[in-house]
Amino acid sequence: MKTWNRTSLLTGVLAGITAALLSMGANTQSSLAIVLYAASALPILIAGLGWGNAAAIAAIVVAGGAAVALVSPYFALLIVVVTLVPAGWLSHLSNLARPASELGGPEGSLAWYPLSDILVHLAGLVTVGMVIVGYIVGYDSSVSDIMVDMVIEAVKAQEPLYNPDAAAIAQLKSIFTLALPLVQGAIWVLMLFAAYYLATRIVQLSGKALRPREDVPSSLRMHRNAIFVFLGGLALTFFGGAPAVIGALVCGTFGAGFLLSGFASFHFRTRGKSWRLPVLWIAYLSVFVFTIPAFFFLLSGLIDTRRAIALTPTGKN
């Protein structure tokens, strides 16, 4: 376990300042906002993965304090609950290990916290964070209604003959009310996991990593119990109102976890094939451009659920 020493605290302070600057940059550069917001998790992750909980906590406190002082408490709340705390918690989970013998494994080895459980925690944290922010800022269907109205007005400006009836507009608004939290939740889980993956590689290259490098295509799966959470979110979407919005958010966050699992399974199954690289490129481009093929990978992730535990000899840690 890393101790609360001067180096870890100083590292945390520097990471917090970096995270705050990235977040404030996202607040001013709308075109790159989501990328900069996700990138603000990277310093927290690197500090936590390489220098332990002390560095991660110091980074979160410094970044949150800077956001309060330089922007506003609402902005600080946004980045803390949706970005900084999830990043710090992921780094904490990633560094957890216990004797493998306690789990029925070999003597003299450490069993690391499963990547599948880390992914489930990420989906849950993003869900809770977005619900908290939505409650405080007063999110409701009027937000999506305004966005639909803006889109319709933009289309009318390009096509003067376009004049949808009230029933079509109402149906579009009801669909968009659920689609918006679903997409937002899914994108945020994907972005934060990308930051986590990049942070683990950076820390490993620096030689500071506690956790061994894992074979992600074979170990990245969702816990089987996450299926029930996903189905529960799907059921909530039929209740209407706030429960439907929360259900759509759950479908988005946990669905993104299963989507990542499906892509990892696809990487694993195509390993060693001569046609692997072009097929992977086609798969990613088809999902990015057409979206619909993502359901294939989502289904693959739902089917292939398990917990792979990484083991390392005790003497190497």
Strand ranges, E, within 72-149: 97-99, 109-112
For residue 166, is pLDDT > 80? no
Terminal-residue alpha carbon distance, the chain: 11
Strand ranges, E, within 43-114: 97-99, 109-112
Are 131 and 247 within 8 A, CB to CB?
Answer: no
pLDDT of 197 reads 94
Q: Domain extents for the chain?
A: 1-95, 112-311
**CA 81, CA 38: separation in Å to the nearest integer?**
13
Instruction: For residue 178, report the phi and psi dihedrals to the nearest 5 degrees.
Output: -90, -30
Stretch (H or E) spanning 312: strand 311-313
**CA 285, CA 79: separation in Å to the nearest integer?**
30
Are 86 and 125 within 8 A, CB to CB?
Answer: yes
pLDDT of 142 reads 64
Tokens of residue 59, six digits: 């980074």
Average pLDDT score over residue span 107-111: 81
Average pLDDT score over residue span 222-250: 92
Region for residue 128 given its phi and psi (left: phi exceeds 0; alpha: psi -120 to 50; beta: otherwise): alpha
pLDDT of 241 reads 83
> Model confidence over 265-306: pLDDT tens digits?
999 999 988 888 999 999 889 888 778 888 999 999 999 888
pLDDT of 3 reads 46
**CA 112, CA 211: separation in Å to the nearest integer?**
7
Q: Distance of CA 141 to CAs 99, 181, 208, 243, 249, Å? A: 49, 10, 46, 12, 13
**CA 7, CA 76: separation in Å to the nearest integer?**
26
Q: What is the DSSP letter of 291?
A: S
For residue 316, is pLDDT > 60? no
Higher pLDDT: 32 or 190? It is: 190
> Model confidence over 122-155: pLDDT tens digits?
999 999 999 998 888 777 666 666 666 677 777 7
> Model confidence over 36-92: pLDDT tens digits?
888 999 999 999 999 989 999 999 999 999 999 988 888 898 899 999 999 999 999
Average pLDDT score over residue span 218-225: 90
Are 63 and 16 within 8 A, CB to CB?
Answer: yes
The angle subtended at Cα 182 by Cα 176 and Cα 184, nearest 5°, is 100
Higher pLDDT: 249 or 74? It is: 249
Tokens of residue 79, six digits: 């980045």
pLDDT of 240 reads 79
**CA 131, CA 110: separation in Å to the nearest integer?**
36
**0.75 cut: is pTM over it?**
yes
The angle subtended at Cα 302 by Cα 299 and Cα 307, nearest 5°, is 145
> Model confidence over 168-217: pLDDT tens digits?
677 777 777 888 889 999 999 999 999 999 999 999 998 888 888 888 88
